[in-house]
Structure 1
């Protein structure tokens, strides 16, 4: 898992130079990953929310489309994108279309409720049944991780998530 791209705040390096450096470094890493049958995953993170564990202000890799462009430039079957539904919703929205558009680059899915990165129940804005149906339509066969900040009993929250996501 690669949770790092160039940091765009307070840097003397331009965004364009940061992207170029990331691509060069990721290409080198991807060659090693290919030889060892390992998949590297780049995670776009939201830069809008400053609250700890809910956002990453200054993070350059904050838009799914930009990270997919990096993946295209790296051009390796061992370099994929982590589609974190929570972060993509905050930064870009249009989740189902983006899943369909970027399906070949998705190497892992993460889910959490929005707002708040909590449970995925009825008190948040993302339709996870629709998301799961979209993943089935694009033949996604990987894992779906539930990375959330529990607001109640975590076991109950996980059971509810399973019920919502079980299509």
Structure 2
């Protein structure tokens, strides 16, 4: 085949692939959306932030999804109205970059967590997020000890109220300089604190980028993981065939550990029909 003919034929084929990909957005979603619920499903609200929260909660009720992530106290009454559980609470942290690894933030953090921990328990919730903060030139061992010093001031209160403080793991591509950027550092922090009321929020997307070997990490270190987040790699988009992770196998690994917590979808939607994209993700994770 002459090069010119080959290029023309390839262009036609590529156009056909684009059309097929567009159709796949709806064809891959189960017509009858019915979950086994071996996995406790949740979703991060910020990914669907252009949908008013109340409308989004109505959609979750329609789908039979019983939990949502990263909601603070002011919106808990709305969750109660729709019988949606807050599977990961927020509102006590300062920011992603200003966290427990820097003693200058301890006074403020201790005050805020001391106020919110009892509120989490009173609302009937369990998990409350926290962050290490950025290094800013700080040695990781120093930062770890600073986290221990600060967090140890609130862990007894968390234990008293049955609240689990969960520090999220991030990668260095999306969150340059963040200290809690690998499983082993986070696990060492868990060991130093020595409490079942401190766990790691294992973000599969972040850890695939930062260290890989996702299933082995889950198998070896699941005792330290209290919550999971999803997203596709690369791009942080849908968890379908456009990315490199095979989520059914990952969910099977999580299930095999006996995990009873929540797995929350945290991908940035590219489909026109955002709820269809969410349904597709839940279906893929419903092993």
What is the match of residue 78 of structure 1? 197
- SS of the residue 2:154 aligns to: helix
What is the match of residue 52 of structure 1? none
What is the match of residue 274 of structure 2? 154
What is the match of residue 92 of structure 2? none
8 Å Cα contact 2:130-2:165 kept in structure 1: no
Name which of 28, 31, 35 aligns with 2:156: 31
Gaps spanning 5+ residues in structure 1: where?
50-54
TM-score in terms of structure 2 length: 0.54
- Residue deviations 1:44-75, cap 9 Å, x none? 1111x2xxxxx110101100111111111111
- 2: CA distance, partners of 1:105 / 1:22: 16
Name which of 134, 145, 152 aligns with 1:7: 134
The structure with more radius of gyration: 2
Gaps spanning 5+ residues in structure 2: where?
1-127
- SS of the residue 1:28 aligns to: coil
- SS of the residue 1:60 aligns to: coil
What is the match of residue 285 of structure 2? 165
- 2: CA distance, partners of 1:14 / 1:140: 33
| 1:1-167 pair list within 5 angstroms | 1-9=128-136, 11=137, 13-47=138-172, 49=173, 55-152=174-271, 153-167=273-287
- Residue deviations 1:75-124, cap 9 Å, x none? 10100111110011011100011001111111111101111111101100
- 2: CA distance, partners of 1:64 / 1:166: 25
- 2: CA distance, partners of 1:2 / 1:69: 18
8 Å Cα contact 2:170-2:178 kept in structure 1: yes
- Residue deviations 1:98-151, cap 9 Å, x none? 001111111111101111111101100111011011011111111110011111
- 1: CA distance, partners of 2:233 / 2:267: 10
- 1: CA distance, partners of 2:185 / 2:140: 11
- 2: CA distance, partners of 1:166 / 1:14: 41
How many residue pairs get aligned? The number is 159
TM-score in terms of structure 1 length: 0.90
8 Å Cα contact 1:3-1:44 kept in structure 2: no
How far did residue 6 of structure 1 move? 4.3
Q: Which structure features the higher share of helix residues?
A: 2
8 Å Cα contact 2:132-2:147 kept in structure 1: yes
How far did residue 155 of structure 1 move? 0.8
